[in-house]
Amino acid sequence: MVDVGAKAVTERVAVASGIVRMKPATAKLINAGKVAKGDVVATARIAGILAAKRTGELIPLCHPLPIDFVDVRLSVDERGGRVSLEAEARIRARTGVEMEALTAVSVAALTIYDMCKAVDRGMVIEDVCLVRKSGGRSGDWKREDA
């Protein structure tokens, strides 16, 4: 791991996003709460939060961090056949929480796929990316096409 011991402790925030594309009928099932495996939105949200908390165990050389806050927000678009995901992570530490936000979105998206694959194996997880981050030596950053 990179030695971050000499870095200053600062407030750090990271926001990541992603999309799960699917048939409109699948999105309608999710919104109606009629997916056989249960409440897709609630389960994906919790899966993403848990994943953010365990990022240091999942990604080699990633620092295990005591996250102060993490949230995963999902929005279902029935007509467009998609679920949009956004994760935000915050911490006061010597290193950033970009990987935690990205891991949260990724695992939440995988959870949606797992819960809905019986009705729609053609789903696609796409556009997982860092949207913005703040804090630390490199300062603030925002995706230009966001």
So what CATH class is 10-136? alpha beta
pLDDT in tens, 89-125: 999 988 889 999 999 999 999 999 999 999 999 999 9
Locate 111 and state its tokens.
């959870």
Whether 58 and 103 have beta carbons less than 8 Å apart is answered as yes
pLDDT at 146 over 70: no
pLDDT in tens, 61-88: 999 999 999 999 999 999 999 999 999 9
List residues with catalytic annotation. Answer: 114
pTM of the model: 0.95
**Per-residue pLDDT tens digits for 56-65:** 999 999 999 9
Domain ranges of the chain: 10-136
Burial 36-61 (b: 16+ CB within 10 A, else e): eeeebbebbbebbbbbbbebbeeeee
